[in-house]
Amino acid sequence: MKRAELVFIPAPGMGHLVSTLQFAKRLLDREDRFSITVLVINAEFGPTNHGLVQSIAASDTRVRFIHLPQIDPPPKELFFRSVEKFVTDFIEKYRSHVKEAIINHVLSASLPLAGLVVDMFCSSMIDVAHELGVPSYVFFTANAAIFGFMLYLPTRLDQVRIEFREIDPESVIPSYVNPVPPGALPSFALNKEGGHISMANHGRKYKEADGIIINTFSELESHAVSSFFNGIIPPIYTVGPIIDLEGKTPSGDKEAKHEEIMKWLDDQPPSSVVFLCFGSLGSFGEPQLKETALGLERSGHRFLWSVRLTSQDDNLAKPTDAQNLEQILPPGFLERTRGIGMICGWAPQVEVLAHKAIGGFVSHCGWNSILESLWHGVPIATWPLYAEQQTNAFQMVRDLGLAVELKIDYRLGSSMLVMAEEIEKAVRCLMEADSEVRKRVREMSEKSREAVIEGGSSYASLGRLIEAIMANNTASARK
């Protein structure tokens, strides 16, 4: 039986790394002929999930990890001006290290190199694949609609020559059902500090890959996926949902908090709790926290609220768990809601969403969080913060009818304050037992689970990808 090696190059950042490793695990579970080497880029702004790395390494001898040497990042000021350009420039500086690692640790081994699987932010590594004479595949950790938007970016840039503006009219983008208003565009589309151009360059580069692997499933994004057949692009493989169903194993203080949260949820009635959580970088200042508290209290619903504060130092703006809640929240709030609410810092999101007590999820609309909520049949109220989350919220509410609109155009760092009345209204709508959104989410939950098992659309797509990798590997070996 012919065997082959794949090299995975994930971008730094928890969401990117977790999705990449889960995909690698699924690929190995499906195909005995593969071995995988993961090149890990360590970065201050993207902590590595060492627990997941160690767990996967211990569970399968066919996967190994090579930690690339740390390098000096671009100036920190660039991070605050454009995260996308900062990350792109940072990864670009790793090209020589990636090539050297592959030559020294992969090509010198007995197994043939079948190709590189590069993160959506690592498109510069497609050139490394070309230099080594092997195929390249882009693993797109966001959704198919955003992939379509990134294909659209270079075409528009060639025609208009400038980034989008907040005063622009709605944009007709092929991968979206409805025209997209400027307030719902990804943050990078409006960025004048290099973010817009960096992402357009990624979109241009994707067309040079041998295949595009997207963490979605065709039943969820049928319009976006079908829109790709109108252009000249590499083959598309929808292999999702790829999510971490086990979650991160807590340790230290988090282990005690984990037990406290799950015990509290065990005591709540089924589908009675609204869960508020905004990702590893999601945080708010005190004025917004006060409005959120008042909105939750007025809604009358039980709640589990992950509260993170905007960092006051400049260590790449990492949020911190809130201390002294009595001083931050409205007077008497904690006492009045003691019987129906729980506030935490870190929360085990995957396990919380899977709990029978959870009836709704107020989310930042990161793609991993959306897939997790759909898998568990929990409807979302949208509160996007950064990156492409505004566009995810727009798609979920307007195109797919799978979410309740709290906000679509909110952006982290803006002066916008979401008022208590808006939060109360959205939570009440979200928690309606027989709402149309809840019914649609339950139906999509079943489809998401069917997609990844034998006979499902993503199962079949993964099979086609495996066949293509082996065929391309044979073709490149003949050169």
pLDDT digits (tens, 9 = 90+) for 460-474: 999 999 999 999 876
pLDDT digits (tens, 9 = 90+) for 314-339: 545 567 777 789 999 999 999 999 98
- The answer to whether the beta carbons of residues 234 and 207 sit under 8 Å apart is yes
In a domain, 246, yes or no: no
In a domain, 258, yes or no: yes
Whether residue 94 sits in one domain with residue 41:
yes
In a domain, 53, yes or no: yes
Whether residue 306 sits in one domain with residue 430:
yes
Whether residue 265 sits in one domain with residue 185:
no
Whether residue 271 sits in one domain with residue 215:
no
Whether residue 192 sits in one domain with residue 279:
no
Q: Tokens 């075409």 appear where?
A: 155
In a domain, 245, yes or no: no
Q: What is the mean pLDDT of residues 61-81?
A: 93
Which pLDDT value is given to residue 313?
56
In a domain, 469, yes or no: yes
Rounded Cα gap, residues 149 and 173, in angstroms:
7
In a domain, 248, yes or no: no
Q: In Å, how far are 67, 120, 312, 325, 428 from 140, measured between CA atoms? A: 22, 5, 33, 39, 35
CATH of the domain at 470: 3.40.50.2000
- Count how many domains the chain has: 2
DSSP 8-state symbol, 315: S
In a domain, 175, yes or no: yes
In a domain, 247, yes or no: no
Whether residue 262 sits in one domain with residue 229:
no
pLDDT digits (tens, 9 = 90+) for 99-146: 999 999 999 887 899 999 999 999 999 999 999 999 999 999 999 999
For residue 358, what are its two tokens?
């959870």
Which pLDDT value is given to residue 113?
96
Whether residue 220 sits in one domain with residue 170:
yes
Whether residue 24 sits in one domain with residue 157:
yes
Whether residue 129 sits in one domain with residue 8:
yes
Whether residue 438 sits in one domain with residue 358:
yes
Predicted model pTM: 0.95
**Domain assignment of residue 378, given as a range:** 253-445
Whether residue 352 sits in one domain with residue 299:
yes
Rounded Cα gap, residues 332 and 427, in angstroms:
21
pLDDT exceeds 60 at position 479: no
pLDDT digits (tens, 9 = 90+) for 369-422: 999 999 999 999 999 999 999 999 999 999 999 999 999 999 988 889 999 999
Whether residue 150 sits in one domain with residue 280:
no
User: Residues of 126-154 as b/e, b for ≥16 C-beta within 10 angstroms?
Assistant: bebbeebebbbbbbbbbbbbbbbbbbbbb
pLDDT exceeds 70 at position 202: yes
Q: What is the mean pLDDT of residues 262-280?
A: 96
Amino acid at position 180, single letter: V
Assign 199 a pLDDT band (cuts: 50, 70, 90). Answer: very high
Query: What burial class does residue 390 get, using C-beta atoms within 10 Å of its C-beta: 0-12 exposed, 13-18 middle, 19+ buried?
Result: buried
